[in-house]
Amino acid sequence: MGAVIAFARSQVGKGYASGADGPSMFDCSGFTMSAYARAGISLPHSSGGQAARARSIPRSMARPGDLVVGPGHVGVYMGGGMMIDAGNRRTGVVFRKLYAGLHIERL
């Protein structure tokens, strides 16, 4: 997961665009798809499709590199209750605290 984490960190500050998967703009699933590709893991460009390939785990078991999933959204867990995700047009790719309604999934 080191490659996933390194990629995610290097994308903070980039923009958001629906359907984008880099290199300068991402949507949420394009961001995670691109991050996991660095580790040789192929994911679909869909938050639901990515969640369907993973299994839910308790937050207490979360490890950096796990998926953070919510309704229509996905990001990368970074540890310490923090995540990186491509939030929306206003935020772009950001490092932030997990918020209510999200759960952790592991591939």
Residues with a known catalytic role: 28, 73, 85
Can you read off the two tokens belonging to residue 99?
């918020």
Here the tokens at position 63 are 């490890």
Q: How far apart are CA 107 and CA 104, in angstroms?
A: 10
Name residue 73's beta-bridge partners.
70
